[in-house]
């Protein structure tokens, strides 16, 4: 029976398209929600993969218009994809982890019914995550090409290219030139992704900042720089071939020498819901195994991931 005080009535389910194990957990989750009185629909591509009968299928756009909540089963890549598509509709997302680390899909599949029960009753932590929008300044008369990202915007060389020269301006003021394999412009959400592996800092998602992280810079004095999220970035490809612009590692635009990329904070934000006990640093401690010292491993004192 649906709790009349629940903030949700219509819930859409979405999953990783190439997952061979989607049917089982999706079926369990849909049945769990229906038994509690919720109206359940399934995103069209997810429905085609899972072949779960008895539920209406909806496009991503319709899913954003007609639902109070979207539950995503998959890894962080799946969550990133749906976050970008649903951000304009301001519909909250919950992630069930079927991937590896799961920084965004932070509910373990084994505990999904218990933890979702709390969220559905209104006991959750809500986060608004900054997103980025980048567009390429093409020749006069051509249509600008845009990318939306939750994690990061990356400009880098391809496998056939050499190091590239970039010019970076912040709020229309020249900041510096960079010769490197590329540069990562990351949100706090993306600070634990590619930016982290390139030597960038971990940034709390509550901070209104962006981080610029050079990738294999030619000069060792180039270091990550943190700037306000309100800043406008203008990056010019001064020299290089086989250069590309990437958003969340899921979309790609080839770049030509002389082209400019304008990067700004998006007008839209991704809304994520977490279990009521969620704590960002506790999540980092568990996902990054900060407490797995030899002493703790010997006595089996690792924290459970909940």
Question: Are residues 211 and 130 in contact, defined by beta-carbon separation less than 8 angstroms?
Answer: no
3-state secondary structure of 154: strand
Side-chain-side CA neighbours of 102 within 13 Å: the count stands at 21
Catalytic residue, candidates 21, 31, 68, 76: 76
Nearest to 181 by CA among 202, 167, 194, 166: 166
Q: Helix 23-35 and helix 112-120: axis angle, to 10°?
A: 40
Report the relative pairing of strands 243-247 and 93-97 from DSSP bridges.
Answer: unpaired
The structure tokens 């994690």 sit at 151
Whether 76 is catalytic is: yes
Q: Identify the DSSP state of 37.
A: T
Q: Residues 6 or more apart from 101 whose CB is under 8 A from it? A: 76, 287
Q: Which residues are catalytic?
A: 76
């Amino acid at each position: 029976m649906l709790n009349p005080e629940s903030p949700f009535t219509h819930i859409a389910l979405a999953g990783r398209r190439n997952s061979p194990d989607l049917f089982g957990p999706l079926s369990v989750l849909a049945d769990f929600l229906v038994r509690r009185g919720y109206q359940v629909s399934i995103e069209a591509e997810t429905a085609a993969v899972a072949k779960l009968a008895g539920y209406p299928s909806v496009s991503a756009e319709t899913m954003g218009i007609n639902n109070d909540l979207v539950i995503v089963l998959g890894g962080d890549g799946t969550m990133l994809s749906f976050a970008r598509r649903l951000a304009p509709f301001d519909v909250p997302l919950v992630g069930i982890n079927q991937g590896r680390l799961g920084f965004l899909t932070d509910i373990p599949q084994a505990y999904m019914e218990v933890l979702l029960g709390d969220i559905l009753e209104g006991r959750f932590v809500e986060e608004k995550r900054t997103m980025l929008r980048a567009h390429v300044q093409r020749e006069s008369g051509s249509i600008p090409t845009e990318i939306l990202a939750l994690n990061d915007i990356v400009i880098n060389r391809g496998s056939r290219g050499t190091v590239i020269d970039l010019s970076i301006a912040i709020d229309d003021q020249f900041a510096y030139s960079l010769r490197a394999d590329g540069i990562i412009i990351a949100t706090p959400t993306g600070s634990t992704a590619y930016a982290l592996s390139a030597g960038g800092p971990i940034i709390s998602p509550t901070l209104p900042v962006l981080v610029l992280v050079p990738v294999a810079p030619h000069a060792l004095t180039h270091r990550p720089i943190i700037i306000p999220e309100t800043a406008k970035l203008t990056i010019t490809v001064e020299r290089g071939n086989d250069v590309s612009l990437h958003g969340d590692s899921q979309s790609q635009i080839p770049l030509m020498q002389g082209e400019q990329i304008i990067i700004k904070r998006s007008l839209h934000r991704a809304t994520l819901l977490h279990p009521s006990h969620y704590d960002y640093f506790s999540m980092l401690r568990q996902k990054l195994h900060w407490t797995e010292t030899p002493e703790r491993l010997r006595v089996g004192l690792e924290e459970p991931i909940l």
